[in-house]
Structure 1
């Protein structure tokens, strides 16, 4: 464990994989009290993700199925079906602000995860306020935002998003399946792409993609995208390549 500049870095080895019952994962963590925009940009380019003040990257020795991916914003063109999703949400209000926590947040988060537990057998237990604060509110910086989706004066979706000058990082999204006709999960990504285009931000980082995976395979729909071919340290060059399906 290294403690430098009030940061703590460590590796959790031989833990059960979150995505495959038969795999073992090794994750490098870095708890950062403060993370500048430049630091964060460098980490995003090298496959790191953020929840609160905790940043992490997989270093699994026996598996490389989790692949870092990013959308090429300038080349992205909305399909007819995506335009229909955008049109269906013409009355959905979007508010962008710093991350927060309310009872509405917690209730919607629990409702979403209870649904996903029944549908995809995700682990589920009601989230404690302290856990939500630590994962989604703590560590917020100038670039940390939440996208709130409102319909009929009701909160129906929340997306945690980091907006940097050269990157958008989609951290997490949860929503009300009672409004499944609006496809809020998809609409949230499309809204981020639209904002990135307007702000001339070149890439949207969607985290880890796992081809043909029940929960992680959907990301390949947002093409063209690039994948990180190597696992560079923070001092090494990255190798990003266009992915052809």
Structure 2
């Protein structure tokens, strides 16, 4: 039986090596607010089991469909830099959030805090441009040996480009080139949900709340396209 966890704390600064331990214990954070929980309410009224995920970067390779996403976006320009919020990012986020019908996030700061450059840990941003037009962005934190995806968003009219998958593929490549061991991709659910796309990356592991240990997803939980 999955233990019921619903923990939280606030912290302004966390060293890189401690962030590795925090992520490995199933914690996530939005700005200064750290949290972890094992159950959430489903839309139908039932409960879903939260499943933290991470990718083992040394063994991760891309599927045929993921390589197609990379290939169809080769003409786009990408930049990775220290995280900093500006008007273009906020405007893109406001357009992106119109895709949602419930649990609609208010602002980009909901996920990143008022100034991600000030911590609680190192945060980088990946921006994608079509010519000079910003069409997608993602943010990820970096520890000593691992990184953690925070949030990604894109121009709704460019949805056929699969930009959410594209930015995560670029994050994986960036972290592999940096010699990191893990990329934490956030929470999914044991039951089918909108987060199932996170299970489709090879070398993905999940945290078993019962044992506090990480193990590979089964083939039934992690379909590879």
TM-score (norm 2): 0.83
Matches of residues 1-245 of structure 1 in structure 2 within 5 Å? 27-60=6-39, 65-115=49-99, 117=100, 121-124=101-104, 127=107, 131=110, 134=113, 137=116, 139-140=118-119, 143-230=122-209, 238-245=212-219
- CA distance in structure 1 between the partners assigned to 2:186 and 2:121 by the alignment: 20
Question: Which ranges in structure 2 are unaligned for 5 or more consecutive residues?
Answer: 42-46, 220-225
Work out the number of aligned pairs and report it: 211
Distance in 1, Cα, partners of 2:38 & 2:63: 35
Higher gyration radius (CA): 1
* Partner SS for 2:126: strand
- Deviation, 1:139, is 4.4
| 1:99–1:140 CA contact under 8 A, matched in 2 | no
Q: 1:135 to 1:230 in 2, by over 3 A?
A: farther
Instruction: Give the conservation status (yes or no) of the 8 Å contact 2:6–2:37.
Output: yes
Q: Which whole-Å CA distance do the structure 2 matches of 1:38 and 1:183 have between them?
A: 33
Contact 2:52-2:207 at 8 Å conserved across structures: yes
**4+ aligned runs moved over 2 Å, structure 1:** 59-64, 121-127, 129-143, 211-214
Q: Is the 8 A contact 2:149 2:184 kept in 1?
A: yes
Question: Which of the pair has the greater relative contact order for Cα pairs under 8 Å at 6+ separation?
Answer: 2
| TM-score in terms of structure 1 length | 0.76
Q: For 2:132 and 2:84, how far apart are their aligned partners in 1? A: 18
**RMSD (Å) for aligned C-alpha atoms:** 2.6
